[in-house]
Structure 1
């Protein structure tokens, strides 16, 4: 009887495996439905609504987002191995920011992530000007500060061209008490940005003000007036735990992994439904599709990164934890950050020939569907950065984050109404096809022994985390302003 039962079990198992469909790129593409993408984004939007309007690192909306995605993945535990990767990072929040103009008027102002506080009550000081340089960027280089009387003043600097933190570091070296950053586009649709936790002790307080206000003040100063303004920033920082989610197919060779990722967190200003709910929903649907198929050689891994908006922290943490052997096994990484912008343009990211192996798959399918595709080289603005640093070939799709492509970028209006559904659906289908093709064959992808991680880059990642550890120590003595006094210079 035991022998008969074993035969019956074996026959049933063989029947189940035989009935499973063999993976093809077309089948994964066909599984991607606009309605399913919409459901995920509606759910993420509702999470934002229920948790203070955002899903940001260190706040309840992010934990709720992690719980939601993890629960969805665990429904497929028969086919996917899923785990949560915890890590600690420095959380910063601006509780209050104010600017009072030279005529006593309140001025519209926004803060930036990892802003530093002014003395309690703010800083009142004369305004100094950094000359506008639209070629190299204003205030980006030390020579642009030569001749600027910044000591003990607030400095008016135009936004753009280089990292804002670079401008603030130079302002501190020049003796400035703070910076009023003039937005580089008209109106009050001012987008936030991160100054990165590692810069907390290196920069001065900053407020971003409308272009029209900053230009008017500049004109008055250039006309001979002396203007005095007040900047108040009440911020605090502390160490908080956060999480990445990693899932991978049970099938496939663990020595040959195709990986894709999207960041799960939003900025504090809004629920982040395009940035990056779009990528989050997209790779979730691709992961679900892979649970239906068999017959592919290479393992497929999916990642939802934490604290991207705070400095790419989750993906860098993941990269820093990889052994050389584990890094070698990741043959290609795809990054999907903002793939549903309301007025989309289609950029495929790649810098090196190895990157183009995956990028060409994405670009070819988008072009086949009638889209104009432009190539974009990698910078350091999304979660591909850690993989590039490790020498892992990478690519991705990006549909834009400027005023033209996504007017709600990093704003409260990045809600369920801020998605181009056809673009999101097409980009997810394209991403699914690329993942399936690489799951079946990595032909043409350079072997890892030809793209060995640069030891210098590996050390740079480790050094970054050593610096972050120092910031976590600093954050344990949470910095706070009490607003009871005022300093005037």
Structure 2
């Protein structure tokens, strides 16, 4: 697989002399994990966010600074380090406003890849859509049959399906835009609508649950309400990067991978999501470089543009040859492992090889007094590409959204939003299991060549074809809906 070198303004790269290394043991790696060092990493990432308009998101300076930070920690003699560059469609909502039926300004949360409106915005009657908490509101064609949304702003409840599905249906039924009200209390979290949906959606403003429910009640009582939505958005194509560091020691045909995404959402610095996983991998990399005696290589990956749709990890897996995919014997995903009120979910799936990593993770956490349990893989983190290649996988997840992480995808996801005790326990679990596999892969089967998912490498490549078409489509639309475009 080809890796692209980039020139970054790196300062103070760590230099170390080759010293006699001690033999690797799981116990030594476990003891090397310190809460203080994990916390220091989180503080550093938080400072990077604070110095870059409160975000470390793909396409913005805070992400480049995060890449520099990881490279400064990993470019050492004991590792081979690669920077894998790729391009992706960048989108940013520069401003968004919602005005309610009584002329009041309503706080609205921007979503990634939200279409822009004309400068004057959209002012139109509100029309309610049926609430269906069981199936998901406004998720299916039959839920729109009794709604006349033509030339109106559709009031839609969040939840039950992808927001983009709701917006496609709204557009198909003639709506000019959507006012999406949250399905839980509190400030709505950000989300991505997906680059592949550029040109297929109507603009959306996301507001709090109580406000949306109040408007819905007034509409049900027969009132005629008008609202306004204005979205100033820009689109272009930007380069971004994955950072990969692997031990020089170990068999290159037997690689254990640990991954965490390095980017945040645009709404905040992303210190639990996923500064927690980033910090864990940095400390494990620091620990592993002090030892020798590896039977198998250990590869650490910090993924780019995860919050835009798993772009970095899917790009990486789409570029693997069959032989390179065979060499990845196990993948561990650490995305949000320090939630303030944590649960301890250990991923496992239909591949029987998953248990080779999942069971020891769960056993460690239970022995440490944590109420750990096996949880299913979903479709929203960086394990997806590995699962689709049949590579045995696992990882830990401590929860997103209330009550586990009320600051999920919000500006308040700062250092104060991480349970360091949980992060330390999870990092130690990751350390012990990775060290065991670095010494022996007994019980770990080869990857499943006949994918257990209906999707496989061809699906990963098809995703990138869609994103490429979306990028080309974006160039045909307004690069920004109001004013001048800004670039990084």
Q: TM-score range with shorter-chain normalisation?
A: over 0.9
1:482 partnered with 2:485: no
Aligned twin of 2:166:
167
Aligned twin of 1:34:
35
- Quote how far apart the aligned CAs of 1:448 are: 2.7
- Quote how far apart the aligned CAs of 1:197 are: 0.6
Aligned twin of 1:218:
216
Q: Distance in 2 between matches of 1:411 and 1:397?
A: 22
- Quote how far apart the aligned CAs of 1:171 are: 1.1
Tell me the secondary structure at the aligned position of residue 260 of structure 1.
strand
Q: Distance in 2 between matches of 1:258 and 1:183?
A: 40
Q: Is the 8 A contact 1:392 1:453 kept in 2?
A: no
Paired residues in the alignment total 465
What is the CA deviation profile of residues 313-363 of structure 1, one whole-angstrom value per residue up to 9, with x for unaligned ones?
Answer: 100110111111111111110000011111111111111222122111110
Aligned twin of 2:315:
317
Aligned twin of 1:115:
114
Aligned twin of 1:247:
245
Q: Is the 8 A contact 2:389 2:449 kept in 1?
A: no
Distance 1:181 1:456, change over 3 A: closer
Where do 1:101-250 residues align within 5 Å?
101-187=100-186, 189-250=187-248
- Quote how far apart the aligned CAs of 1:119 are: 2.3
Q: Is the 8 A contact 1:270 1:413 kept in 2?
A: yes
What is the CA deviation profile of residues 87-144 of structure 1, one whole-angstrom value per residue up to 9, with x for unaligned ones?
Answer: 1011101011111111111111111111001222111111111111111110111111
Aligned twin of 1:3:
none
Where do 1:70-469 residues align within 5 Å?
70-74=71-75, 76=76, 78-187=77-186, 189-352=187-350, 353-448=352-447, 457-469=456-468
Q: Distance in 1 between matches of 2:250 and 2:407?
A: 40
Q: Distance in 1 between matches of 2:411 and 2:454?
A: 41
- Higher Rg of the two aligned structures: 1
What is the CA deviation profile of residues 235-256 of structure 1, one whole-angstrom value per residue up to 9, with x for unaligned ones?
Answer: 0110001000001010111111
**Mind listing any 5+ residue stretches in structure 2 that lack a counterpart?**
1-17
Tell me the secondary structure at the aligned position of residue 91 of structure 1.
strand
What is the CA deviation profile of residues 167-193 of structure 1, one whole-angstrom value per residue up to 9, with x for unaligned ones?
Answer: 111111111111111101123x21101
1:470 partnered with 2:469: yes
Distance 1:319 1:116, change over 3 A: same
- Quote how far apart the aligned CAs of 1:454 are: 7.1
Distance 1:406 1:456, change over 3 A: closer
Q: Distance in 1 between matches of 2:418 and 2:434?
A: 23
- Quote how far apart the aligned CAs of 1:228 are: 1.1
Q: Is the 8 A contact 1:181 1:207 kept in 2?
A: yes
Q: Distance in 2 between matches of 1:373 and 1:31?
A: 23
- Quote how far apart the aligned CAs of 1:471 are: 2.2
What is the CA deviation profile of residues 358-415 of structure 1, one whole-angstrom value per residue up to 9, with x for unaligned ones?
Answer: 1111100000001101221111111111111111111110111111111111111111
Q: Distance in 1 between matches of 2:456 and 2:151?
A: 38
Q: Is the 8 A contact 2:199 2:474 kept in 1?
A: no
- Give RMSD over aligned pairs: 1.7
Tell me the secondary structure at the aligned position of residue 69 of structure 2.
helix
Q: Distance in 1 between matches of 2:404 and 2:246?
A: 33
Q: Calculate the TM-score normalised by the size of structure 1.
A: 0.92
Q: Distance in 1 between matches of 2:474 and 2:455?
A: 28
Q: Distance in 2 between matches of 1:439 and 1:455?
A: 31
Tell me the secondary structure at the aligned position of residue 52 of structure 1.
coil
Tell me the secondary structure at the aligned position of residue 416 of structure 2.
coil
Q: Distance in 2 between matches of 1:126 and 1:339?
A: 44
Q: Is the 8 A contact 1:125 1:153 kept in 2?
A: yes
Q: Is the 8 A contact 2:391 2:446 kept in 1?
A: no
Farther off after superposition, 445-454 or 338-347: 445-454
Tell me the secondary structure at the aligned position of residue 320 of structure 1.
helix
